[in-house]
Structure 1
Amino acid sequence: MSWFSLETPHNSDFQSKMKAALKFWLELGVAGIQIEGVEQLNDSQLLGEWKNLTSQYSSDGNARVLIAWTGQQDSRQIFSLLNETSADLLVSPYLLGLELEPTGQKVENTIRAYIQAAGEKWPSWSVGGPRTRHMASLVKERLLGLYHMLLFTLPGTPFTNYGDEIGLQELPGQSGVSRMQWNNSANFGFSSKFSPQGGDSSGSNITVEAQSGNSSSLLSLFRHLSELRGKERSLLHGEFMMLPRLVPDVCVYLRSWDQNKRFLVVLNFAGTQSTVTISHSLLPPEATVELSTDPQRQEGQLALKDLTLESSEGLLLHFPYVA
């Protein structure tokens, strides 16, 4: 039986089984539950009932969330659907519209349209997922760090698929079923009772073990971004301002909150060096390097006039609030 069929709202057996499944996982302590294909659900009241059930398991400092997933890519349709549901978050493949070779202008327009459509709603961002493959199978390798910086610094909630933090890809001819690669053993760190999934694991640097001790790895970048996102108020719930784009492939925006440290995000989507002058009344002449996707980038102060970014470099700068 198709779970989200026309008969679903009237199928008491489905509803009781669904609630039993939700209770089972909630009692095990999961932090959230994701429901896919909600655009096919003909009774939005069902999501309301599931949301109420999820909320019953929330406690102070230990919230449980109900996440809805839709295949829609149009920003207005996405938030129209969110208005119709009771989900805490609605995840979509919206950013897949950026394609393999995004330009700064394309990224800027895509972000602006989504934030405008969101209005007062809380947005979420993702590149890839269970239905759309891992990020590394969808974008060029040189852009992986750039996309992670984008996801973790935009307003709203970033979503990543397991393995995106190390650049995991699907095996040829498969989608969304690659096993997480913890190390280079035959079973990638899983029990020997699991049969090998195929492919040569020896010497691969696409493992957690190989990247954990490497400060220039994708995993190291991911962990740093995740840590910043969790502790910096400007990145958590700060205001978002897109700054003028003076170079075609460079996207620049500002995150700020009250009197907290400000963050300036500069993303170069070009496969070559780009030089840009960033000027605004809210900005100082110099800012401090917080993080870069380029391992060769030195720490310290950078002048915002004639700022040179390396090929596909994402640069996260910070400067203090000044009254």
Structure 2
Amino acid sequence: MVDGFAWWQSGVVYQVYPRSFQDSNGDGVGDLPGLLARLDHLVTLGVDAVWISPIYPSPMADFGYDVEDYTGVHPLFGTMEDFDRLVAAAHGRGLKVILDYVPNHSSDRHPWFVESRSSRDNPKRDWYVWRDPSPDGGSPSNWLSEFGGSAWEWDAATGQYYYHAYLKEQPDLNWRNPEVRAAMLDVLRFWLDRGVDGFRVDAIHHLIEDEQLRDNPPNPGWREGMSPTRRVIRVHTMDQPEVHDAIAAMRRVVDSYPGDRLLIGEAYLPIDQLMAYYGTDLSGFQLPFNFHLLSTPWEAKPLAALIDQYEAALPSGGWPNWVLGNHDRSRVASRLGKAQARVAAMLLLTLRGTPTLYQGDEIGMTDVPIPPHLVQDPWEKNVPGLGLGRDPVRTPMPWDGGPNGGFTSGEPWLPLGPDAARVNVAAQATDPGSKLALHKALLALRRAEPALSVGSYRRVSAADDVLVYERAHGGRRLWVLLNLGRELRTVDAPAEGAHIRISTHLDRDGEPVAGSVRLRPNEGVVIGQ
């Protein structure tokens, strides 16, 4: 940590998708004992916090994001005792633990929803969003599910529809009901009392919908091949003003605990709308996830413009963050290619703000083609053929060159990549030029240089495929030069008497810089005095 900064400002978050991290019992699915057994990988890598995707009891219609019990552990992943051991072991290694929190919806098998749908006069009826049919007998509005089809599901027993932003097995909770809010805030307290250091809050921009149920307007930009839900502009089902009061209530709970507990919000929104999620006087999320690197053209000028726009939009005191990969989006090495993935790692770990690293990106994992008969993702099953399935980025972590990459002694729930015998942790741990070695070196440099972890950012130039920026703190200055192209580039040195601290090729440490810097294709360097 850096004096004067919270741990999450100087730190790096590592996302674990527990189904695919490490299996300990041979059932083919990763679990908490498996994660515990691999904690030392995270320590050696050099990250500061582990964010764990959902581990709650669930029918697994959406692989844990359909929660049946918010205060339990699914037997597939282990026990509450396993969880407690994991938290203690992580803290003993200096790692923070962040849990996924899913406030927008529960499973349709959650006892709350079972009660809610039992009758119209059940005390929990208003815990979910129930509405009468429209005058023509159809659904109450034209709202569409993120996973395809109408967002309204007819319940013949009670003669009403219920709303679900995602699967029909994931009914939306009614956060306008104070009892729902109180119960969901108690969920936060339950896990905070068990030592959790923070939460990544799922799908927060869906939390509240338009109370008048107004139809969403048609999207004139929709084309065949796009997600069906994009047929409309979701102005009445996303990013409603009331969501910020709910976030502030979550933040008050988190702030009532010691130790700089953290709230991270998942909201895929334009930058100007995203800024509201920091909250009035920073009463919202400390880190509303910034996903814009995922969609910005991988070129010097657009990236520089994005960074400038984001930095300028931040509220006073708001802390930036950056994301290049997660369990929902194509892997970095598949989007950008393996060579540029190394440059992307340098960008992610040297920009101002808190980076989040997705498991497997540190070894250059790529999207794994999934044969139709092995598809697991409900999104792909509901709208096949559009390439929306997330299975290719959720495949198991290869730890070594043995059977199933050392992930499981059984049949893995998704197939490993065809390159797992070569692209694995053990092979790269002994290769001084590997992608894993690059991540370790970048994280070590970031930890050693506060200029990189908490320093200021200044753009120097963006031209001819090369992005150059300066990071500075406490009189220390470092410059990052990234060649985003496939041609050799020569760039004026930003300082005299400097030397290369690290190259993405890991072969130029200490090289003096005089007058100019020669950047090979797909190379980035950090230089300093």
- TM bin, normalised by shorter chain, reads 0.7 to 0.9
Once the two structures are superposed, residues 57-106 of structure 1 have per-residue CA deviations (whole angstroms, 9 ceiling, x without a partner) of 433xxx3211101112x22222133336611111132112323xx22212
- Structure 1 residues 20 and 187: alpha-carbon distance in aligned structure 2, compared to 1, 3 A threshold: farther
- Structure 1 residues 31 and 166: alpha-carbon distance in aligned structure 2, compared to 1, 3 A threshold: farther
Match of 2:308 among 97, 112, 126: 112
Deviation at 1:301, TM superposition (A): 1.1
Once the two structures are superposed, residues 244-287 of structure 1 have per-residue CA deviations (whole angstroms, 9 ceiling, x without a partner) of 34x4211111111123x3211101111111012134xxx3x231
Aligned length: 305
Look up the match of 1:10. 177
* RMSD of aligned residue pairs (Cα, Å): 2.5
- Does residue 307 (structure 1) correspond to residue 473 (structure 2)? The answer is no
- Structure 1 residues 11 and 137: alpha-carbon distance in aligned structure 2, compared to 1, 3 A threshold: farther
Q: Which amino acid aligns with 1:186?
A: P
Once the two structures are superposed, residues 87-142 of structure 1 have per-residue CA deviations (whole angstroms, 9 ceiling, x without a partner) of 1111132112323xx22212211211111111432111111212223322322211
Deviation at 1:308, TM superposition (A): 1.0
Look up the match of 2:273. 77
Deviation at 1:9, TM superposition (A): 2.4
Runs of 4+ aligned structure 1 residues displaced above 4 Å come to 199-203
Q: Counterpart of 2:276 in 1: which secondary structure?
A: helix
Provide the C-alpha distance between the structure 1 equivalents of 2:273 and 2:336, rounded to a whole number of angstroms: 24
Look up the match of 1:222. 439
Look up the match of 1:127. 324
Q: Counterpart of 1:243 in 2: which secondary structure?
A: strand
Q: Which amino acid aligns with 1:93?
A: F
Q: Counterpart of 2:500 in 1: which secondary structure?
A: strand
Matches within 5 A, 1:1-80: 3=105, 5=172, 7-10=174-177, 12-13=179-180, 15-16=182-183, 18-42=184-208, 43-59=243-259, 63-72=260-269, 74-80=270-276
Q: Counterpart of 1:115 in 2: which secondary structure?
A: helix
TM-score, normalised to structure 2's length?
A: 0.53
- Structure 1 residues 26 and 249: alpha-carbon distance in aligned structure 2, compared to 1, 3 A threshold: same
Q: Which amino acid aligns with 2:312?
A: Q
Deviation at 1:26, TM superposition (A): 3.1
Provide the C-alpha distance between the structure 1 equivalents of 2:396 and 2:332, rounded to a whole number of angstroms: 15
Provide the C-alpha distance between the structure 2 equivalents of 1:24 and 1:189, rounded to a whole number of angstroms: 34
Look up the match of 2:491. 276
Provide the C-alpha distance between the structure 1 equivalents of 2:448 and 2:507, rounded to a whole number of angstroms: 26
Provide the C-alpha distance between the structure 1 equivalents of 2:506 and 2:486, rounded to a whole number of angstroms: 16
Once the two structures are superposed, residues 278-314 of structure 1 have per-residue CA deviations (whole angstroms, 9 ceiling, x without a partner) of 34xxx3x2311111002343532111x2321000111
- Does residue 257 (structure 1) correspond to residue 473 (structure 2)? The answer is yes
Deviation at 1:169, TM superposition (A): 2.5
Look up the match of 1:248. 464
- Structure 1 residues 192 and 28: alpha-carbon distance in aligned structure 2, compared to 1, 3 A threshold: farther
Q: Report the more deviating stretch, 19-28 or 261-270.
A: 19-28
Look up the match of 1:138. 335
Provide the C-alpha distance between the structure 1 equivalents of 2:176 and 2:320, rounded to a whole number of angstroms: 28
Match of 1:186 among 403, 406, 416: 403
TM-score, normalised to structure 1's length?
A: 0.85
- Structure 1 residues 181 and 138: alpha-carbon distance in aligned structure 2, compared to 1, 3 A threshold: same
Deviation at 1:205, TM superposition (A): 2.5
Q: Which amino acid aligns with 2:179?
A: S
Provide the C-alpha distance between the structure 2 equivalents of 1:27 and 1:186, rounded to a whole number of angstroms: 40
Q: Which amino acid aligns with 1:227?
A: A
Provide the C-alpha distance between the structure 2 equivalents of 1:30 and 1:19, rounded to a whole number of angstroms: 14
Q: Which amino acid aligns with 2:517?
A: L
Q: Which amino acid aligns with 1:53?
A: V
Deviation at 1:23, TM superposition (A): 3.7
Provide the C-alpha distance between the structure 2 equivalents of 1:203 and 1:125, rounded to a whole number of angstroms: 28
Q: Report the more deviating stretch, 132-141 or 21-30.
A: 21-30
Q: Given that residues 396 and 412 in structure 2 are in contact (C-alpha distance below 8 angstroms), is that contact kept between their aligned partners in structure 1? A: no
- Structure 1 residues 13 and 244: alpha-carbon distance in aligned structure 2, compared to 1, 3 A threshold: closer
- Does residue 158 (structure 1) correspond to residue 355 (structure 2)? The answer is yes
- Structure 1 residues 243 and 273: alpha-carbon distance in aligned structure 2, compared to 1, 3 A threshold: same
Deviation at 1:182, TM superposition (A): 1.6
- Structure 1 residues 193 and 14: alpha-carbon distance in aligned structure 2, compared to 1, 3 A threshold: farther
Q: Given that residues 34 and 68 in structure 1 are in contact (C-alpha distance below 8 angstroms), is that contact kept between their aligned partners in structure 2? A: yes
- Structure 1 residues 45 and 80: alpha-carbon distance in aligned structure 2, compared to 1, 3 A threshold: closer
Q: Counterpart of 1:137 in 2: which secondary structure?
A: helix
- Structure 1 residues 298 and 14: alpha-carbon distance in aligned structure 2, compared to 1, 3 A threshold: closer
* Percent identity for Structure 1 against Structure 2: 26
- Structure 1 residues 50 and 189: alpha-carbon distance in aligned structure 2, compared to 1, 3 A threshold: farther
Provide the C-alpha distance between the structure 1 equivalents of 2:419 and 2:477, rounded to a whole number of angstroms: 43
Provide the C-alpha distance between the structure 1 equivalents of 2:401 and 2:413, rounded to a whole number of angstroms: 11
Q: Report the more deviating stretch, 163-172 or 20-29.
A: 20-29
Q: Which amino acid aligns with 1:127?
A: L
Provide the C-alpha distance between the structure 1 equivalents of 2:415 and 2:408, rounded to a whole number of angstroms: 15
Q: Given that residues 294 and 310 in structure 1 are in contact (C-alpha distance below 8 angstroms), is that contact kept between their aligned partners in structure 2? A: no
Q: Given that residues 187 and 197 in structure 1 are in contact (C-alpha distance below 8 angstroms), is that contact kept between their aligned partners in structure 2? A: no
Q: Report the more deviating stretch, 34-43 or 48-57.
A: 48-57
Q: Given that residues 200 and 263 in structure 2 are in contact (C-alpha distance below 8 angstroms), is that contact kept between their aligned partners in structure 1? A: yes
Provide the C-alpha distance between the structure 2 equivalents of 1:202 and 1:139, rounded to a whole number of angstroms: 18
- Structure 1 residues 12 and 155: alpha-carbon distance in aligned structure 2, compared to 1, 3 A threshold: same
- Does residue 287 (structure 1) correspond to residue 502 (structure 2)? The answer is no
Q: Counterpart of 1:263 in 2: which secondary structure?
A: strand
Unpaired stretches in structure 2, ≥5 consecutive residues: 1-65, 67-103, 106-164, 166-171, 209-242, 371-388
Provide the C-alpha distance between the structure 1 equivalents of 2:482 and 2:417, rounded to a whole number of angstroms: 34
The one of the two structures with greater contact order (alpha-carbon pairs below 8 A, sep at least 6) is 2
Deviation at 1:28, TM superposition (A): 4.1
Larger gyration radius, structure 1 or structure 2: 2
